[in-house]
Amino acid sequence: MRGRTGAPATIDLSVRIYTWLLAAYPGPFRAEYGRHMTQVFRDVCRRDYSRGGLSGMTSLWARTSLDLVRTTAEEHIERGIEMNREKFVRWSGWALVAGAVLFAAGLIIGSFDSFDMDPIGGVDAVYEISQIVGLVAGQLLFVIGLLGLRAGYAGRSGSLGAGLLLLAVIGSVVSLGGLLVMSSVEEGWLVWMGGYLAMTLALAVFGIVALRRRVFSRWNFAPILAGVGVPLLFGIGMVGVSSVNGQAPEWGAFLAVVLTSVGLILIGYRMQAEAGRTGEVAA
Amino acid sequence: MAEVAQRPESFLPLTPAVFHILLALTDGEKHGYAVMQEVEEMTEGKVQMGPGTLYGSIKRMLAAGLIEESDDRPDPTLDDERRRYYRQTGLGRRVLREETERMAELTALARRKRVLAGIGSRSIPT
């Protein structure tokens, strides 16, 4: 008995069922490859039918059913992971931008506080509270942003780049912890600065990797910009090059804040712009 | 977006499907069914890929730059022009070579440990 296409009815029916089963794949995959998969399945049907008749078709369907179950699961998982990663990288990019703005604003507004060491309150309360909110919220957003940076770009940064991004994440977490305990633990500010220094140093070195490997589609200098200011400031402060008392000059601190913020804003902007293209490329 | 330079080693080890597809495309461009047939012939029927495995692998290999679609048709009169043809890229060739070398090294290691002793005349080239 012949089907509508002139092929045996068994083949026509099998192809129709297979085409119907393709609905189990994710839409974009089905749209791109569904027609070609049907064509290949039709070719295999003809071959196996001519070789083994109905028993050949039974064997083909046994293999194809397993293939369908396994690969539909694979494609759905892969699609889910890609969608989640894409969203996370995009939003963490914005988090990095917002964090850089808040952090810089907190530091700059805090610099108007005329009495650094007094308890919170009094005439400078607005400056003090703005500084605390800006620093804590900004640092929290850095943690999220750097986690997204690692999730989106570690795969294309090599083992050194991925390690540096992990160090930057750890540094940002330590720094956030230092900020949170600063009011109750005397050494809190040391933890904060140590974490912040580790975060920025890791970013600066990652910038060299980014330039060599072209990790971003453009602005690969941005991590160096984000990371170089604070370590330089520490260096100047430690050797006392620019001041009599060994402290870094105020304009140096301002420059470091601006460099870090601009660098982080550029990285964040690139992350949200490239979020759809940051998937791992392993075959 | 600028193409990101990928080192062949970063793709290793390959899945059996990806390795066989790359190997099938060594002789030139082929469409999906021809790749499937070639793999079955090469492996004497031991490896039979379903359409889902074939096109799932092709999708990932295209994204990774190991293969590319070809506009050329070996013989348009003999072929359905709606078929898509695929061919290896330079990166795909390098990855296949690296993977083959990796497997050869492993086989050599197994030979030194006499893992194959007693298997008889069946030999695996190193």
Question: pLDDT tens across B92-111, in order?
Answer: 999 999 999 999 999 999 99
| Per-residue model confidence as pLDDT tens digits over A171-228 | 999 998 988 887 777 788 889 889 999 999 999 999 999 999 888 988 999 999 998 8
| Per-residue model confidence as pLDDT tens digits over A11-40 | 999 999 999 999 999 999 999 999 999 999
pLDDT at A282: 44
Which pLDDT band holds residue B1 (cuts at 50, 70, 90)?
very low
B2·A217 Cβ contact <8 A: yes
Looking at chain A, the whole-number percentage of residues with pLDDT higher than 70 is 85
A74·B56 Cβ contact <8 A: yes
Residue B118 vs residue A58, higher pLDDT: A58
Q: Distance between CA atoms of B16 and B42, rounded to whole angstroms? A: 13
Does A275 lie at the interface with B, CB-CB under 8 angstroms? no
Residue B50, in any domain of the structure:
yes
| Per-residue model confidence as pLDDT tens digits over B2-49 | 344 578 888 889 999 999 999 999 999 999 999 999 999 999 999 999
Query: Which one of A123-127, A226-230, A240-244 scores highest in mean pLDDT?
Result: A226-230
- CA nearest neighbour of B91 among A213, A279, A281: A281
pLDDT at A19: 95
Does B51 lie at the interface with A, CB-CB under 8 angstroms? yes
pLDDT at A126: 72
pLDDT at B62: 95
Residue B73, in any domain of the structure:
yes
Looking at chain B, the whole-number percentage of residues with pLDDT higher than 90 is 67
Does B33 lie at the interface with A, CB-CB under 8 angstroms? yes
pLDDT at A6: 54
**Residues of A (64-93) whose Cβ lies below 8 Å from B:** 64, 66-68, 70-72, 74-75
Residue B39, in any domain of the structure:
yes
Q: What is the extent of the structural domain holding B36?
A: 12-112
pLDDT at A46: 94
pLDDT at B37: 95
A64·B66 Cβ contact <8 A: no
pLDDT at A241: 47
- CA nearest neighbour of A156 among B3, B19, B59: B3
Give A240→chain B minimum CA distance, Å: 42
Q: What residues in B contact A277, CB-CB < 8 Å?
A: 1
Q: Is the peptide bond before A119 cis (omega within 30 degrees of 0)?
A: no
Q: Is residue A127 scored above 80 in pLDDT?
A: no
Q: What residues in B contact A283, CB-CB < 8 Å?
A: 11, 14-15, 18, 57, 60-61, 63-64, 66
Mean pLDDT of A218-240: 80
CA atoms within 13 A on the CB side of A107: 16
Residue B1, in any domain of the structure:
no
B32·A39 Cβ contact <8 A: yes
Residue B21, in any domain of the structure:
yes
Which pLDDT band holds residue A256 (cuts at 50, 70, 90)?
confident
Give the range among A181-185, A279-283, B78-82 with minimum mean pLDDT: A279-283
Does A261 lie at the interface with B, CB-CB under 8 angstroms? no
Alpha carbon distances (Å) from B51 to A12, A172, A264, B37, B66: 17, 47, 45, 12, 19
Give A70→chain B minimum CA distance, Å: 8
Which pLDDT band holds residue A8 (cuts at 50, 70, 90)?
confident
Does B16 lie at the interface with A, CB-CB under 8 angstroms? no
ipTM of the complex: 0.86
**Residues of A (200-219) whose Cβ lies below 8 Å from B:** 213-215, 217-218
By C-alpha distance, the chain B residue nearest A61 is B50
A39·B18 Cβ contact <8 A: no
Residue B103, in any domain of the structure:
yes
Give A211→chain B minimum CA distance, Å: 12
| Per-residue model confidence as pLDDT tens digits over A36-92 | 999 999 999 999 999 998 889 999 999 999 999 999 999 998 888 888 888 889 999
Residue B7, in any domain of the structure:
no
Does B53 lie at the interface with A, CB-CB under 8 angstroms? yes
pLDDT at B125: 46
Tally of domains within chain B: 1
End-to-end CA distance of chain A: 44
Give A190→chain B minimum CA distance, Å: 39
- What CATH number is associated with residue B21? 1.10.10.10
Residue A1 vs residue A50, higher pLDDT: A50
A40·B48 Cβ contact <8 A: no
Residue B6, in any domain of the structure:
no
pLDDT at A111: 75
Mean of all residue pLDDT scores within chain B: 86
Instruction: Give yes or no for a contact between A153 and A165, defined as CB atoms under 8 angstroms apart.
Output: yes
pLDDT at B124: 47
Q: Distance between CA atoms of B15 and B4, rounded to whole angstroms? A: 22
Q: Is residue A252 scored above 90 in pLDDT?
A: no
Give me the helix-helix angle, B32-42 and A27-110, nearest 10°: 100
- CA nearest neighbour of A191 among A174, A172, A168: A174
Residue A236 vs residue A111, higher pLDDT: A111
Percent helix, percent strand, percent coil in chain A, to nearest 5: 80, 0, 20
A33·B15 Cβ contact <8 A: no
pTM of the model: 0.62
**Residues of A (146-185) whose Cβ lies below 8 Å from B:** 156
